[in-house]
Structure 1
Amino acid sequence: MRVAFYGSSLLSAYWNGAATYYRGLLRALAARGYEITFYEPDVYDRQKYRDIEVPDWCRVVVYQGTVAALKRVAAEAVDADVVVKASGVGFEDDLLLAEIMGSANSAALKIFWDVDAPATLAELRVAPDHPLRRALSSLDLVLTYGGGDPVVESYRAIGARDCVPIYNAVDPETHHPVPADPRFAADLAFLGNRLPDRETRVEAFFLDPAGKVGDRRFLLGGAGWDDKPLPQNVSYIGHVPTADHNAFNATPTAVLNISRASMAENGFSPATRVFEAAGAGACLITDAWEGIELFLTPGEEVLVARDGQDVAELMRMLTPAGAKEIGKRALGRVLAEHTYAHRAEEVDRVLRNRARQMEAAE
């Protein structure tokens, strides 16, 4: 199948947390025979901070952040068997949706792929006339970054024909154990960009615990934290390129996952970093959210913290040997059940089933 995928960016992870999700999933789909073209706008300086060059498994079209350029690339949707508009592209999202789906061949599968479903749904619930909400009934399928039954039921309730969560995973060729790197030496590390619905949780789960265990070294990575007051035992290293993610995850005694507020409240929304850390054999501590046991077993393959006090207690108790054992078990679990090859098999099945249903209905 030929796929036209319109997203934020495949080439750059700069202010673009969905990059590794796109890369892992689309690469695995390409391995199954899909011919993919990824369209991304040149906005937010992402092209200045590319993490990868154009891969051999996907054609990439970078277009200027203008309405005229948007319309030109949207017109190319007519040649695809599957047309995908992702959430959060970052330039004229509503217009892009209308132009893409208006250009798509009548026989093509038309999909909205939501990489931040809890936040999107919160916006749609209070906006009955939102362009996306009005368009849902004309789309064949909504795929999401996660969210479980709560997201599926919510999308169906506001007009989606069907909704299927496609969870994050690990690409073993990209995320894997590596030797420790002194740049990332720490007892606990957190990697995440500074966002409005994350900052308060970072304070509660990372900065406050750092103040309580002052004899432990904490490491903060990600964009936007430059002017944030930090405890003395927290080192800030700025944006961490994806090429350094394995070392960032494999070096500290433990790494921390902090969900964005909307995803934590909804549950069933493991971040990409959960699987990247596990893929590198890291000992992962995650904030508590419903559904974690579907991906990693608490206490054995992941440590779960209900609040900052739990994080502090875990850091007092955790030994390097115990951390290594947890990381080893997590790595085994994700390789067995949660690779992008597993996810691509699921996407392929969903798309082919939907295509057969469309043919039968004609």
Structure 2
Amino acid sequence: MKMVIFGLSVSSSWGNGHATLWRGLIRALSRRGWTIVFFERDVPYYAGARDLDTLEGGELVLYPDWAEVQPAAEREVADADVAIVTSYCPDAIAATDLIQEAPVALRVFYDLDTPVTLAHVRRGKLPAYIGPDGLRGFDLVLSYAGGPALAELRSALGARMTAPLHGHVDPERYRPAAANPDFAGDLSYLGTYAADRQAGVDRFLVQVARRRPDLRFVIGGAQYPQEFPWAGNIYFVRHLPPPDHPGFYASSRLTLNVTRHAMAEMGWCPSGRLFEAAACGAAIVTDVWPGFDTFFAAGEEIIPVETTENVIAALELSDEALRRIGRNARERVLAEHTSDRRAQELESILAQCGNAQRSSQPAAEAI
């Protein structure tokens, strides 16, 4: 089976959550016999922070502009079993036109940013990666978010068949590691700066740091502005490539997950960082959003927090209690949220979609 993907980035994890997800999923699919070709526009900001040159389990095609790569894209799609266009792909509309004109068995749109997409639609404006016909031309729309988002993709954008394909983690890349003294702290947070996460970062880390000057706090990520409310006990580590993530998580007693506003509001949309930290055996404190307890058991595998005081209380738990929570989270991830598990789910979804096409099932439905 052959799959062609037109995506945002797989070569650089700088400032985006797509890359590590695709790396894990492509490796898992290749082990299951798939041939994968990933098309990525070569842009300066990713080229300057590229942390992958060879795509393990697939072929990476970096291109300067669509006009130059279109002939190659047409050749690859011509014999593809599945062609996927993703959210935030800079040439998504051109790629959509290409695959809808080609004899592809299954045409798929994978929205890795469903809450953002639907927020645009509610404001009466389509995002740049969706054309005027919405999602009607795709056989299947995969969504990073589950729950009510699936129905809204059908009603608002005309998706014919929808299915959730949540985040995941490659446990060969994310696993317990030795602590790194450079990242040592009591509470850590790893994530690209985002204005719509800042209220949570302020409540669950900055305010905690101000009230507990005896503790050490560490933030790792990219794009943090100079006006960020730093404190004397908050330390910053500039963008970390994925191989450094396990050591980062291992170096603090607790790590924080803060969900972007649109994702938290919609629910059933766990951050990829959540699975990565859990796979490393980290004890996690997380903001609360609808459906989070369908991915991890509150109190046993993850610590939900709503206030600054909740985080302070979590920091006062014993080391053994935190280690137990981290172990439980890792066991849950290995059982349900690995890239191999998502690859199996994707194959099942694609098979169901193909069967539905052959049996002429109703045009709009959820798998």
Q: Per the shorter chain, which TM-score range? A: over 0.9
User: 1 CA distance for matches of 2:5 and 2:124?
Assistant: 26
* Residue pair 1:39, 1:73 contacting (<8 A) in 2 also: no
Consecutive aligned runs of 4 or more in structure 1 exceeding 6 Å deviation:
none
Matching residue of 2:121: 124
Q: What one-letter code is carried by the residue in structure 1 that aligns with 2:162?
A: C
* Residue pair 1:8, 1:40 contacting (<8 A) in 2 also: yes
User: 2 CA distance for matches of 1:225 and 1:138?
Assistant: 39
User: 1 CA distance for matches of 2:126 and 2:335?
Assistant: 44
Structure 1, residues 240-298: CA drift from partner, whole Å, max 9, x if none?
Answer: 11110011112210110000000111111111111111110100111111112211111
User: 1 CA distance for matches of 2:91 and 2:350?
Assistant: 27
Q: What one-letter code is carried by the residue in structure 2 that aligns with 1:125?
A: R
User: 1 CA distance for matches of 2:126 and 2:172?
Assistant: 43
1:1-362 to structure 2, matched below 5 A, reads 1-64=1-64, 66-69=65-68, 71-75=70-74, 76-89=76-89, 91-98=90-97, 100-105=98-103, 107-127=104-124, 131-132=130-131, 134-145=133-144, 147-158=145-156, 159-227=158-226, 228-315=228-315, 317-361=316-360
Q: Aligned residues, how many?
A: 356
User: 1 CA distance for matches of 2:212 and 2:126?
Assistant: 50
What percentage of aligned pairs have identical amino acids?
36
Matching residue of 2:365: none
Q: What one-letter code is carried by the residue in structure 2 that aligns with 1:236?
A: F
* Residue pair 1:201, 1:258 contacting (<8 A) in 2 also: yes
Structure 1, residues 2-57: CA drift from partner, whole Å, max 9, x if none?
Answer: 11101111121012211111111121111111111011111142123222231341
Q: What one-letter code is carried by the residue in structure 2 that aligns with 1:4?
A: V
Shift of 1:157: 1.1
3-state secondary structure, aligned to 1:293: helix
Q: Where does the alignment leave 5 or more consecutive residues of structure 2 unmatched?
A: 362-367
Q: What one-letter code is carried by the residue in structure 2 that aligns with 1:80?
A: A
The two structures, once aligned, show a CA RMSD in angstroms of 1.9
Return the TM-score normalized by structure 2: 0.91
Q: What one-letter code is carried by the residue in structure 1 that aligns with 2:292?
A: I
User: 2 CA distance for matches of 1:352 and 1:221?
Assistant: 40
Q: What one-letter code is carried by the residue in structure 2 that aligns with 1:262?
A: A
- Pick closer, same or farther for the CA change 1:212–1:69 going to 2, 3 Å: farther
Q: What one-letter code is carried by the residue in structure 1 that aligns with 2:9?
A: S
Q: Where does the alignment leave 5 or more consecutive residues of structure 1 unmatched?
A: none
Q: What one-letter code is carried by the residue in structure 2 that aligns with 1:114?
A: D
* Residue pair 1:78, 1:103 contacting (<8 A) in 2 also: no
Q: Please identify, of 135-144 and 275-284, the stretch whose mean Cα deviation from structure 2 is larger.
A: 135-144
Shift of 1:129: 6.7
Return the TM-score normalized by structure 1: 0.93
